[in-house]
Structure formats: structure tokens, C-alpha cells
């Protein structure tokens, strides 16, 4: 089942697919909460992350607007991970 929730005047969005939640600022994916079957290479590089439920986000290197969207979406306390690790996890989930 897919559910889409718009916040902050439709500029921040949560897309829920099954048990996974994808958090967007405008059209940029900035956070993820759900099940991530991580590859062994990523696990070796980031031992704190393990297969299972994760709540992760990109570092806010965008703008004050993106920071506001992170707060509105409730992801400001998610674990911050490097962009390349975030992309790897999203590629595995998608």
C-alpha cells in the first residue's frame, strides 16, 4: 500500500510504501525510515548500521528551507550518514 502525506504547504512530503517511509524536501529525498538489508561492504564501513529497521537522513547541507522541512517531517533526530551510504541504502530498498 502506498500513502502520500504533504506537509509545509506541499513542499515537504512523506511517501509510505508498506513499512518504509521516504521523506522529501520538494523533490529531494532527505530521509528514510524502514527496513534496510545492508550490503556487507557497507556494514564493514559503518559498523553501527546493521540489517533491520533504520532511521537515517542526509546531513543538511542544503538550505534553511530544507532544515525547516526536516523539522516539519520529524527527521531531525534521525542518524546522519554520508550521502554515498544513504544512496547505497536507498538503492537496496528501491
pLDDT of residue 62: 73
The pTM assigned to this predicted structure is 0.84
pLDDT at residue 9 is higher than 80: no
Q: In angstroms, what CA-CA distances link 1 with 4, 30, 42, 69, 72?
A: 10, 21, 29, 24, 24
Question: pLDDT digits over 35-73, tens only?
Answer: 888 776 676 677 777 778 889 998 877 788 888 888 889
pLDDT at 90 over 70: yes
Question: Is 1 a residue whose pLDDT tops 90?
Answer: no
Q: What grid cell was written down for 62?
A: 542544503
Residue 31 clears pLDDT 90, i.e. is over it: yes
- Label the pairing between strands 79-80 and 52-57: parallel
Nearest to 78 by CA among 8, 18, 29: 29
Amino acid at each position: 500500500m502506498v500513502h502520500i502525506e504533504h506537509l509545509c504547504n506541499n513542499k515537504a512530503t512523506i511517501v509510505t510504501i508498506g513499512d518504509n517511509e521516504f521523506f522529501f524536501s520538494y523533490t529531494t529525498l532527505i530521509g528514510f525510515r524502514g527496513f534496510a538489508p545492508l550490503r556487507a561492504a557497507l556494514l564493514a564501513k559503518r559498523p553501527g548500521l546493521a540489517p533491520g529497521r533504520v532511521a537515517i537522513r542526509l546531513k543538511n547541507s542544503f538550505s534553511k528551507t530544507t532544515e525547516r522541512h526536516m523539522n516539519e517531517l520529524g527527521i531531525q533526530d534521525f542518524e546522519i550518514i554520508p550521502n554515498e551510504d544513504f544512496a547505497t541504502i536507498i538503492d537496496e530498498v528501491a
